[in-house]
Amino acid sequence: MGRISPYSSPESELEIKIQSRQSDPHPVGGPRPRHHNHPPRSPPPPPYQPFKKWFPWLVPNIVVINIILFVIAMYINNCPDHSAKCIGTSTLGRFAFQSTKENPLLGPSAATLQKIGALEVTEVVEHHEVWRLASCMWLHAGVFHIIANMLSLLFVGIRLEQEFGFVRIGLLYVIAGIGGSLSSSLFVRRTISVGASGALFGLLGAMLSELLVNWTIYENKLQALLTLLLIIIINLSVGILPHVDNFAHLGGFVTGFLLGFVLLIRPQYGWVSRRKVPAGYMAPSSKSKYKTYQYIMLTVALILLISGFTVGLVLLLVGVDGNDHCSWCHYMSCVPTRFWNCEARCSTSQEGNQVNMTCMQNHKSKLYILGNGNSTAQIQKLCIDLCS
């Protein structure tokens, strides 16, 4: 149900050093040296600084907004009034959690999440509620879910905002989150989805492309690349666990990776030095702000982004199920082992409020009568019970 993406914190320790480039500027029209053996030293231009230090205020505010929205979701959920089994009713009152059988993450019910903006393919396709692609990334399934995501956001996001500013990181976070939702909606058809992990994986993807597009200015580039790749592989591997929406992770990562070539590109050394050199001194010449390979990467990434979002939205709105065209893709989100079963999958045929359901794992079948309320959330719960 949730997009749970526990991050390891090594990315917060990842240090990337900028190459130091020595220049020997010559004074223009200065006083002649008195001794030929000891010419006067001219002051060098300021060292290359690819970015200025920004004060990170956006990322902490995103964390606060997510926490506030989770509290609002629990208030709307009001478990004691809608369920006989709640956790912490005597202490939390209407903020009590659903039972662990219904929500093991300590949070609201699926029906509540669907009501306030969770990603549900049926609502997007049949009622054209495309806004759910963005709203779902601000909701979380439970306490454990939001803690994992917000700690990861603080570790990764603050550092990126300090380097690139709130505008670029804000755009990157939102667009990558939508990209993750779009990918999820094309393959996760029978359950609702919430969480910010698509946006978080977008930040990781952008860190990788930023390193590649600005490759020439880094000193410890190979070490930084290997460390970042290890962090990404570990986090993506978590997605093969059950109840984790790895399609949102993959979609957010690819979107962020492409956006990094567009939003996190840095000017080359000579262009920056020429702008910052003191008056009267010569600076390294540079005809262009960016190198040729940077322009190529930016153009290709922009084309892929626009075409990917366009094709993805068209396929989603016409009701295309990605699983029908890729029989093995579900293994990208969950790999069954002897230690766990993957998310319950059921085939259903519905007529009115009657649903005939068959579990794809144990082949059990049963006829259910749906009550009033969200049918998708009810079917999801019944499928879990049937397959358990």
Tokens matching residue 185: 């909606």
Q: 191, 161 in Cβ contact below 8 A?
A: no
Q: In whole angstroms, what is the distance from residue 24 CA to residue 28 CA? A: 13
Tokens matching residue 46: 């300021």
Q: In whole angstroms, what is the distance from residue 118 CA to residue 3 CA? A: 11
Upper half-sphere CA count for residue 318 (Cβ side, 13 Å): 8
Residues 6 or more apart whose Cβ sits within 8 Å of residue 306? none
Residue 365 phi, psi dihedral angles, 5° rounding: -125, 150
| 140, 145, 243, 249: the active-site residue | 249
Upper half-sphere CA count for residue 225 (Cβ side, 13 Å): 13
| 5, 152, 197, 273: the active-site residue | 197
* Whether 83 is catalytic: no
User: Can you tell me whether residue 194 is helix, strand or coil?
Assistant: strand
* Whether 9 is catalytic: no
Give DSSP secondary structure letters for 327-385: TTGGGGT----SS------EEEEEETTEEEEEETTT--EEEEE--SS-HHHHHHHHHHH
Q: What is the set of active-site residues?
A: 197, 249
